Each structure stands twice: as structure tokens, then as C-alpha cells.
């Protein structure tokens, strides 16, 4: 599958750490996380606001000297076979590239060379097929991607949205084992709103005290997550 249209946020100061960047949104995802806040990027046709990939590169040409980088997010960008070439084309313009991924395409992850990767670790790998729409190979794929990132091919972070019902405190010991050697691990509380499965839209968010308790439980396992609340 080829990436031919993208959504575009022209300027962001938060999506790419420490850089002035643009954010590119891709359409389609191989998972079906019921709490996903971007259902328009998961199912159905691409949003009408999407622009052609060549229009995106024309935009970059006009922003020379203003932007430092581009964040590519989704959906899941790695569903697209031409992503390696797109990333290189951005980098050839002197811009850094951050890739957001769900970690279920380890072989494709090894074929791209962004400057920074943010990988979601949504829960313990064994839960992916049951809760998130993965298949029998998804659990192993997530672990393979995580281990590959630990090799240090590029700077990276791992992040988890704490969604009660999908991830629980009893999962922390297994997660902590997977996260050994990860320097940047972020946890964020789930927040209701527009969700892929409307039944999740009104679910309550873990409060700050609960998130700090979760942080302490990780620390007891030798992992020091950073809270994003």
C-alpha cells in the first residue's frame, strides 16, 4: 500500500521533543483500539482535509528555515510500503523525522531510518489480540520491535496510555521486565471523548493520585516512568 495523501498540522511545538515541527497524519491502522481518539484515521475513507503527498513536499519547500523536523503519526504509518522513501526525502531537506508507531511491524521498522521513534506499548503483549484487534503474531511483533529499539539504532521513547480495563496494575511486573533498558518511558491517563468504540467515550480518567501510585509501582520494579498528565 502506497502513501499518497496525508493530513497536515503545519506547526507543532509538542509532537517532536525540543524541535519546531510539522505533523503528518496517515490514514489506516491495523489495530482497533476501542479507546482510540482518532477514529477518522483508522476506518473509512481518508478525511477530506488530507492533501496529496507532493503538496506536502511543496509545503516543506516553503517552510525552509522555519521547521526543524516532521513528526509522522497515524493511524499507523508503517502500513505504507513507501514510507522509507518518504522519510529519506524529508531528511534530504535537512529536517529530522520522528515516527510514531504501534510497534506491530518490526520488520518494516528495521527498514526505516527516522531520527526519533515513539512506540506505544498499550498493555502486556498477550492482551493485544483480545482487546486491541491484533492477531496471533501481534504479541511477538510488539516484543520484537521493543527489543530492536533497545539496540540503539536511533533515539526513542516508549509510551503507554493507562486505560483501565485494557491495562491493570497486575500487568506492571511483566511490563517492567519488557522495559528494562528503556531510558524514556512515559505514561498518560486515558481521557474520554471521541473514541473508536463509542462505548468508551464516557469512561472516566484515572486521577493524578492514581497515576502517581502506578508510577510508584513501576519504580518498585526498577522502572522510572515519566507522567504526562
Cα–Cα dist 210/163, whole Å: 12
Q: Is the dihedral of CA 179, 180, 185, 187 positive or negative?
A: positive
Share above pLDDT 70 across residues of the chain, in percent, rounded to a whole number: 100
In 3D space, the residue among 191, 189, 190 whose CA is nearest the CA of residue 215 turns out to be: 189
The pLDDT assigned to 58 comes to 97
Q: Hey, what's the cell of 11?
A: 506547526
Reported as a single tens digit per residue, the pLDDT across 144-176 is: 999 999 998 889 999 999 999 999 999 999 999
CATH no., domain 5-227: 3.20.20.70
Beta partners for residue 23, in sequence order: 9, 71
Reported as a single tens digit per residue, the pLDDT across 52-78 is: 999 999 999 999 889 999 999 999 999
State the Cα angle at 102 between 222 and 125, rounded to 5°: 55
Reported as a single tens digit per residue, the pLDDT across 21-30 is: 999 999 999 9
Is residue 122 over pLDDT 90?
yes
Listed by start position, the domains of the chain span 5-227
C-alpha distances out from residue 180 to 69, 104, 157, 212, Å = 29, 19, 13, 20
Is residue 134 over pLDDT 90?
no
Q: Hey, what's the cell of 195?
A: 473514541
Backbone angles phi, psi at 168, to 5 degrees: -130, 165
pLDDT band for position 135 (cuts 50, 70, 90) = confident
Q: What is this structure's pTM?
A: 0.95
At 121, is the secondary structure helix, strand, or coil? coil
Amino acid at each position: 500500500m502506497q502513501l499518497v495523501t496525508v493530513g497536515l498540522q503545519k506547526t507543532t511545538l509538542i509532537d517532536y521533543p525540543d524541535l519546531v515541527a510539522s505533523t503528518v497524519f496517515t490514514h489506516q491502522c491495523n489495530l482497533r483500539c476501542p479507546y482510540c481518539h482518532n477514529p477518522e484515521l483508522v476506518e473509512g475513507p481518508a478525511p477530506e482535509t488530507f492533501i496529496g503527498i507532493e503538496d506536502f513536499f511543496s509545503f516543506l519547500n516553503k517552510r525552509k528555515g522555519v521547521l526543524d523536523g516532521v513528526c509522522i503519526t497515524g493511524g499507523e504509518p508503517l502500513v505504507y510500503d513507501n514510507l522509507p522513501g518518504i522519510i529519506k526525502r524529508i531528511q534530504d531537506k535537512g529536517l529530522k523525522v520522528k515516527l510514531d508507531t504501534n510497534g506491530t511491524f518490526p520488520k518494516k521498522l528495521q527498514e526505516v531510518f527516522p531520527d526519533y521513534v515513539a512506540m506505544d506499548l498499550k498493555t502486556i503483549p498477550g492482551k493485544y489480540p483480545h482487546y486491541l484487534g491484533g492477531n496471533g503474531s501481534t504479541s511477538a511483533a510488539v516484543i520484537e520491535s521493543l527489543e530492536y529499539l533497545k539496540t540503539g539504532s536511533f533515539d526513542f521513547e516508549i509510551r503507554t496510555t493507562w486505560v483501565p480495563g485494557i491495562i491493570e496494575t497486575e500487568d506492571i511486573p511483566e511490563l517492567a521486565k519488557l522495559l528494562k533498558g528503556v531510558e524514556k518511558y512515559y505514561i498518560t491517563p486515558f481521557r474520554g471523548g471521541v473514541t473508536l468504540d463509542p462505548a468508551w467515550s464516557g469512561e472516566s480518567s484515572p486521577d493524578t493520585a492514581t497515576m502517581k501510585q502506578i508510577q510508584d509501582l513501576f519504580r518498585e520494579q526498577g522502572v522510572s516512568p515519566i507522567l504526562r498528565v
